[in-house]
Amino acid sequence: MTSIPALSALYTAAQARALDRDAARFGVGSHDLMQRAGWAAFAALRRRWPEAVRIGVLCGPGNNGGDGFVLARLALEAGMAVRVLAPASPARGDAAQARAALLEAGGRIEPWSEALPPADVYVDALYGIGLDRAPEGEAAALIEALNAGGAPVLALDVPSGLDADSGHAPGAAVRAAATVGFVAWKRGLFTGQAADHCGALELATLDLPDALYAAHAPDARLLTAEALPPRARGGHKGDYGRVLVIGGDHGMGGAARLAGEAALRVGAGLVEIATRAEHVAPILAARPELMPRAVDGPQALQAACERADVIALGPGLGQGAWGHALWLTALLDAQRPLVLDADALNLLAREPRALRDAAVLTPHPGEAARLLGCEVAAVQRDRYAAARTLAQRYAAVVVLKGAGTLVASPSGDVAVCRWGNPGMASGGMGDVLTGVIAALMAQGQAPWPAACLGVGLHARAGDLAAAAGERGLLASDLFAPLRALVNGQPHE
Ligand SMILES: NC(=O)C1=CN([C@@H]2O[C@H](COP(=O)(O)OP(=O)(O)OC[C@H]3O[C@@H](n4cnc5c(N)ncnc54)[C@H](O)[C@@H]3O)[C@@H](O)[C@H]2O)[C@@H](O)CC1
Ligand SMILES: [K+]
């Protein structure tokens, strides 16, 4: 873990521009910044590919291209075979100076073309935070050629074609082996399609002082790995809360059981499951520590709600009359903190209503789209906006799942999860997350810290479990690593 605040702060492109400009106040002007960026990127290239001697540098029309020109000059001066491709129209300002310096040092610049020169490593300096539309024409063809070629790509600041704000690629986008960010992390590098494009991420803060970052509040933050405090020696099960999971309509008992068992593994004192009668015996047989109860309607649910400290509503709930009646009871009468998932969210989309009690909503993009009344693609085009809008609309903490899960608070705070893997795209993973967050709330955490901690634990447990392979990863494989993590076993 690091104590450098810049490493967990995430900025929009506009905020990053303001930071760049403000660096001058600390004696680092834009020309100097570009030189430092080029140096840092060249150092990263040498560190990552020490054997590389042929470097292909693709420069765009703006300052991202300028960073590329600086790197190309340094590579040339280091004796490497450097081929630089740049558009015919000359760059302006600092980038023009960097270009002139490259030519002065004996470099040659070739026009963009679809044919890439042979190289051990390519440097992508086409577009950075200035991307304002999908790449087209020669730039798009170059990107496709880079992605089709076998050599690794080092992207400067942002993989070209990826939107630095949203992590959405509107068209062709570079698939880099590594990306070196400059000055500050751009928030789009950590969610949506970013994971397929960035490769290994590293940040070069270019020796800018902490005071600069302190003067610029970020838009969002990366989740950090938090440890849970040790338990008091005299604790008893009543101290760790009682979770009530409501769900498991006909044929969907597994979802409720997974949520319940996850809650136990994360330390909830007691876990009850209000479910269909046919699920009671199988749940008891498989996990006798759970307390499943047959609930045929709202009346039977009341007493369980009164006993509970937190309600996890939705795993396998269905949207039929049974699920709807329990949903209404939990929402209107229970007066308990809630975690809403799956069909509880689908019912909320069908029948929008204000939530009376403290709540965490955990939609995947499809559920978020239903709640917002838009297409899934619109959610994915701007996940930050979708999460914030939902959090504000429901005055609740919202966990927008998917690669780069976001946690948003009603006041606009956003935390981003950089852990997790595609092995976790399998049935039941969401149910486990619901149980984890509910268990943390049952142990006394407020919705925001519980959601942040829960999302991080769940994703890190997924990464530990994926050590045996991403394909075939089961939701229940997370139980053992979850238990290890809540007891302080280090992840990295
Ligand atoms: N401003 C500064 O002080 C620093 C800037 N740096 C670099 O500068 C970058 C930002 O530079 P710019 O603002 O010049 O932006 P970019 O270099 O990212 O690109 C902007 C240029 O590309 C054009 N463009 C964008 N999308 C296009 C598309 N799809 N098709 C065709 N043309 C397109 C724009 O119209 C503009 O001319 C950063 O990402 C970073 O790499 C670094 O050198 C560090 C310091
Ligand atoms: K780039």
Give, for all 492 residues of the chain, the pLDDT tens digit. Answer: 345 667 899 999 999 999 999 999 999 999 999 999 999 999 999 999 999 999 999 999 999 999 999 999 999 999 999 999 998 776 789 999 999 999 999 999 999 887 899 999 999 999 999 999 999 999 999 999 999 988 999 999 999 999 999 999 999 999 999 999 999 999 999 999 999 999 999 999 999 999 999 999 999 999 998 888 888 888 777 789 999 999 999 999 999 999 999 999 999 999 999 999 999 999 999 999 999 999 999 999 999 999 999 999 999 999 999 999 999 999 999 999 999 999 999 999 999 999 988 999 999 999 999 999 999 999 999 999 999 999 999 999 999 999 999 999 999 999 999 999 999 999 999 999 999 999 999 999 999 999 999 999 999 999 999 999 999 999 999 999 999 999 987 544
CA distances to 170, 201, 439 from 206, in Å: 30, 15, 42
Together in a domain, 215 and 266: no
Together in a domain, 115 and 212: yes
- Ligand 1 contact via 34 beta carbon (within 6 Å): yes
Together in a domain, 167 and 278: no
Q: DSSP readout, 247-259? A: ---TT-HHHHHHH
C-alpha 400 to ligand 1 mean position (Å): 30
How many CA atoms lie less than 13 Å away from 423 in the CB half-sphere?
24
Domain boundary (161, 188, 219) is at: 219
Task: For residue 318, give the CATH number of its domain.
Answer: 3.40.1190.20
* Residues having C-beta closer than 5 Å to ion ligand 2: 124, 155-156, 160
Domain boundary (172, 190, 219) is at: 219
Residue 10, both tokens: 């995430």
C-alpha 193 to ligand 1 mean position (Å): 20
Q: Using one digit for the tens of pLDDT, what is the confidence trace for 76-133? A: 999 999 999 998 776 789 999 999 999 999 999 999 887 899 999 999 999 999 999 9
- Ligand 1 contact via 94 beta carbon (within 6 Å): no
For the chain, the first-to-last Cα distance in angstroms comes to: 9
Sequence ranges of the binding site for (6S)-NADPHX: 63-67, 128-134, 157, 255, 316, 364, 431
Atom number in ligand 1 closest to CA 158: 39
Range of the domain at 275: 237-486
Q: Using one digit for the tens of pLDDT, what is the confidence trace for 219-262? A: 999 999 888 888 888 877 778 999 999 999 999 999 999 999 99
C-alpha 177 to ligand 2 mean position (Å): 12
DSSP run (H or E) holding 398: strand 397-400
Residue 11: inside a domain: yes
Task: For residue 154, give the CATH number of its domain.
Answer: 3.40.50.10260
Domain count, the chain: 2
Which ligand is nearest to the Cα of residue 11, counting in written order? 1
Together in a domain, 207 and 296: no
How many CA atoms lie less than 13 Å away from 439 in the CB half-sphere?
30
Together in a domain, 289 and 417: yes
Which of 132, 186, 212 most suits a substitution to test ligand 1, by most atoms within 8 Å of the C-beta?
132
Residue 311: inside a domain: yes
Sign of dihedral through CA atoms 190, 192, 195, 197? negative
Residue 231: inside a domain: no
Which of 26, 30, 63, 157 most suits a substitution to test ligand 1, by most atoms within 8 Å of the C-beta?
63
Residue 413: inside a domain: yes
Residue 208: inside a domain: yes
Total number of residues shown for the chain: 492
Together in a domain, 205 and 325: no
Which ligand is nearest to the Cα of residue 30, counting in written order? 1
C-alpha 155 to ligand 2 mean position (Å): 5
Residue 114, both tokens: 């679809």
- Ligand 1 contact via 410 beta carbon (within 6 Å): no
Together in a domain, 25 and 68: yes
Residue 24: inside a domain: yes
Together in a domain, 253 and 203: no
Side chain identity at residue 395, one-letter code: A
